[in-house]
Amino acid sequence: MSRFDTVQPHTDAATLTVDLGALVANWRQLAALAGSEAGAVVKADAYGIGIEPAVTALSGAGCRSFFVAHLSEGIRARSVAPEATIYVLNGLLPGRCAVYAEHALSPVLGSRDELAEWSGFRATGAAVRPAALHVDTGMNRLGLQPSEALDLARGHDAVAAAGIGLLMTHFSASEDEADPASERQAADFATIAAAFPGLPASLKNSSGHFLPDCPSYALTRPGYALYGGNPTPGRANPMRQVVGLEARIIQLRSVEAGAQVGYNGRWTAPRRSLLATICLGYADGYPRNASGTDALPGGTALVGGVACPFVGSVSMDLIILDVTDAPSAARGEAVTLLGGPLDLEAVGAGAKTIGYEILTSLGRRYGRRYVGL
């Protein structure tokens, strides 16, 4: 039993199982593929599996660089990885420099204003970790424009004053090999990296590890693939599954053909059907868009290995399944909502969203079991 477990068998209605061994194996696979240092993106509560268990497992395996989105996430990561380099991706909000210093966190700076504030703080003699410089090569979201970065490179004074230790950019479409954006971004970043000789650089995200001829530079930043998401859509998933989700049947009932099911009667039974209600809903992070209606199919669960469709609306705490073709369906039986053939991509498609949203929405009401280490 892991110290991170929260399973209470007599009270939990649903259980989330996280395979930390698979997480570590995925990180090692990506590091080997890159041929350089692989960091780990652990933002959004480590994509829903928990920052503390994820960072503990990865740092124990040798990961030394982590990326989070917010300061609060960085503080949590620091609590279990005292020696790691922890970058905060979402930039430097005004007046926060002292918090970065207190927790030895590295801001990812993406504007001249951020550079100026951080440089001014460093000039006071404050002890801080090296920051990262973010250059925008195509997202139009965060980061310096390439021309701004090249202007900085000509003088180097501003970069030195800010104590920059890493240069980075972010792909906008690396999961699609046919999209020319990645090649264009990589070329632009190569020009910028060459203007900062000796400065370590980072380009690859999860899917970037699988782009032909894409340079790894000093550090890569896998995220989704670490947690079992497919970084090569349309092809077999090269990553191991990390997350499994089960809930239990609380009630069975038979309905006649023509019966309307769930809120607003959005699904109509086409035959005499056996329905099972499970203890899980959108309050647990399962998207309401997974509802099964007369117009559109929704999500799927496995009952005794049989795929059973969601019928009616996903409600706050409950989901109804059509288990007519599942002979093992019984009150109290565990059903699988994530795991095996129901991988992140399949579950995301059933909920009319993407696997990223499925992961990062994983609810706090689940009993959590951590295995594999």
Q: What residues are annotated to the active site? A: 43, 263
Provide the 10 A C-beta neighbour count for residue 55: 25
Q: Which residues of 67-93 are buried (b: 16+ CB within 10 A; e: fewer)?
A: bbbebebbbbbbebbeebbbbbbbbbe
Contact (CB, 8 A) for 279 and 248: yes
Distance CA 48, CA 1 (A): 20
Tell me the residue ranges of DSSP E strands in 37-149. Answer: 37-38, 40-41, 65-68, 85-88, 106-109, 131-134
Alpha carbon separation from 363 to 120, 148, 348, 356 (Å, rounded): 41, 41, 16, 14
Q: Which residues of 17-37 are buried (b: 16+ CB within 10 A; e: fewer)?
A: bbbbbbbbbbbebbbebbeeb
